[in-house]
Amino acid sequence: MMKRILILFISLLTLTPTFAQSQEKIHEWFFKGADFAKQDNHTEAAKWFKKAAEKGLADAQFILGIFYKNGAGVPQNYAEAAKWFRKAAEQGDMQAQYYLGVCYDNGDGVAKDRAEAVKWWRKAAEQGDARAQCDLGSCYIVGSGVAKDYAEAVRWFRMAAEQGYAEAQYFLGLCYANGKGVPQNYTEAVKWYRKAAEQGYADAQYDLGEIYYNGEGVSKDYTEAVRWYRKAAEKGLADAQYRLGVCYYEGEGVPKDYTEAVKWFRQAAEQGDAKAQLFLGLCYKNGWGVSQNYTEAVKWYRKAAEQGFALAQYSLGLCYYLGHGVPKDYAEAVRWYRKAAEQGEADAQYDLSEIYYYGIGVPKDKAEAVKWYRKAAEQGHVDAQYELGEIYYNGEGVPPNYTEAVRWFRMAAEEGVADAQYNLGVCYYNGEGVPQDNDEAVKWYRKAAKRGYEPAQKILKELGKTW
């Protein structure tokens, strides 16, 4: 990286007329340093750059700052790097201004100070430095060192993007995708993502994949999504590795291939991606693409669960409940179910309610069961809706309430739960919670009977009705 900067910088300097002017000795020192740098003799290069820098040559001051920053030819010393960047920056050197801003942004050799970073980035940006323009735009996006201003962020991103700076092209695409500082426009987002993606910018490749996967601003195209996910995944981007794994897992844009899915899930999981860890656990649990191994499943569930991923917490709780990969432990199952349930995971809420209802690993507590049944039911969990109907019908943990029972039976019945369809028929037949209505009762009995529910078939026979 440093060598590339030096070669580019020095090649530009050879074209600069100032080097034909009066300070020939200083320039001679500088070019000696440049010659040694080209030979990778950084110790000698640093010696000659320093001589020129101490005489006030801004170009030498900047390069000496780079040497101290990277520990090339001199001991690494961020304070010295910042000192020489400042000397060059105060003379108007654009690159030095940018790097001095970086020093303040990171707290390298100076006290961390985003406002001071913004000051120097602005100076460089106004001279056309694309990196500084992009970083300045980022400061306006988050309101760091300056007041948050999306329109101003877009202005700086655009300047850098139009110079071909991939990171700025990506951020400009993000602004269009999210309507930040510009009207939301997926077509423009795709345009800028593509420019960055074609330069190999992994985040843009991933987001372009997402755009094709979801059909935002383009026709939905799983094959194209996979193409861009793969490019980003091969660069090591965990989000893209996970999404590519999902495509193989589901057979979207590629033939279904659990072995390939596991490969990509593993790469993302080893980088700490919780979703990939969960899916890798699922693959081990079910023997998809790997030999079935509950112990490995638990290992990956736990990694995701400890990051707070609710579905992984529920899955880990289920392993403790069933004794899969770990000794059966109801108390530990309850602990993980609760963590997931408190984050709104409906299956965990339902299983936690069952545990309290039957007193498995905890004292039996109908009121606590009702609380969790309700939370799951309100999210559309049909088993919880049916059980909540039963609870209100029988008055367990709550006062009996046929109207409320009918409400929950109906929700589950409309989703095809045969028990709920039968019970709703009973409520209509007996006029419990609804006006008595034999025709409505028969309608619901028939729905349950067609699903093979024997009590419904039996009562229809007694009523002389078919199904």
Residue whose token pair is 């590795």:
241
In Å, what is the CA distance from 123 to each residue of 37, 127, 160, 242, 341? 28, 7, 14, 40, 52
> For 166-207, what is each residue's pLDDT tens digit?
999 999 999 999 999 999 999 999 999 999 999 999 999 999
> Is 375 part of any domain?
yes
Q: Do 49 and 91 lie in a common domain?
A: yes
- The last residue of a domain, from among 94, 109, 124: 109
Q: Do 307 and 369 lie in a common domain?
A: yes
> Is 373 part of any domain?
yes
Could you tell me which of 464, 428, 458, 461 has the C-alpha nearest to residue 443?
428
Average pLDDT of the chain, as a whole number: 95
**Contact (Cβ atoms closer than 8 angstroms) between residue 196 and residue 204:** yes
Q: By residue range, what is the domain housing residue 453?
A: 380-390+404-467
> Is 75 part of any domain?
yes
22 — pLDDT class (breaks 50, 70, 90): low
Q: Do 410 and 372 lie in a common domain?
A: no
> For 302-318, what is each residue's pLDDT tens digit?
999 999 999 999 999 99
- Which pTM does this prediction carry? 0.86
* CA distance linking residue 311 with residue 306, whole number of Å: 11
CA atoms within 13 A on the CB side of 320: 22
Chain-centre distance of CA 300, in angstroms?
18
How many other C-beta atoms lie within 10 A of the C-beta of residue 149? 15
> Is 396 part of any domain?
no
Q: Do 425 and 384 lie in a common domain?
A: yes
> At residue 56, does pLDDT exceed 50?
yes
Q: What mean pLDDT is predicted for residues 77-104? A: 98
> At residue 269, does pLDDT exceed 80?
yes
Residue 448 is classified by DSSP as: H
Counting residues of the chain whose pLDDT is more than 90, the rounded percentage is 94
Q: What mean pLDDT is predicted for residues 97-105? A: 98
* CA distance linking residue 254 with residue 290, whole number of Å: 19
Residue 124 is classified by DSSP as: H
* CA distance linking residue 130 with residue 344, whole number of Å: 44
Q: Do 386 and 356 lie in a common domain?
A: no
Q: Do 360 and 460 lie in a common domain?
A: no
Q: Do 360 and 386 lie in a common domain?
A: no
* pLDDT for position 5: 52
* CA distance linking residue 454 with residue 464, whole number of Å: 15
> Is 243 part of any domain?
no
* pLDDT for position 23: 72
> At residue 19, does pLDDT exceed 90?
no
* CA distance linking residue 110 with residue 381, whole number of Å: 56
- The last residue of a domain, from among 41, 75, 109: 109
Q: What mean pLDDT is predicted for residues 8-34? A: 68
CATH number for 459: 1.25.40.10
Number of structural domains found in the chain: 3
Q: Do 1 and 95 lie in a common domain?
A: yes
* CA distance linking residue 241 with residue 205, whole number of Å: 12
How many other C-beta atoms lie within 10 A of the C-beta of residue 27? 21
- The number of helix segments (H) and strand segments (E) in the chain equals 26, 0
> At residue 11, does pLDDT exceed 70?
no
Token reading at 403: 């109207």
Residue 18 is classified by DSSP as: G
Helices 418-430 and 382-394: angle between axes, nearest 10 degrees: 30
> Is 444 part of any domain?
yes
Q: Do 300 and 344 lie in a common domain?
A: yes
Q: What mean pLDDT is predicted for residues 201-229? A: 96
Could you tell me which of 125, 209, 145, 133 has the C-alpha nearest to residue 171?
133
Q: Do 439 and 359 lie in a common domain?
A: no
- The last residue of a domain, from among 109, 142, 160: 109
157 — pLDDT class (breaks 50, 70, 90): very high
* CA distance linking residue 300 with residue 377, whole number of Å: 29
> Is 103 part of any domain?
yes
User: Helix (H, G, I), strand (E, B), or coil: what is residue 408?
Assistant: helix
DSSP sequence for 174-207: HHHHHTSSS---HHHHHHHHHHHHTTT-HHHHHH
* pLDDT for position 2: 53
Token reading at 225: 């999504």
Q: Do 349 and 441 lie in a common domain?
A: no
Q: Do 436 and 344 lie in a common domain?
A: no
Residues ≥6 apart with Cβ < 8 Å to 393? 400, 402, 405, 409, 423, 427, 432
> Is 194 part of any domain?
no
> At residue 428, does pLDDT exceed 80?
yes
Side chain identity, residue 137: G
Residue whose token pair is 């309430």:
401
Q: What mean pLDDT is predicted for residues 150-157? A: 98
Q: What mean pLDDT is predicted for residues 47-56? A: 96
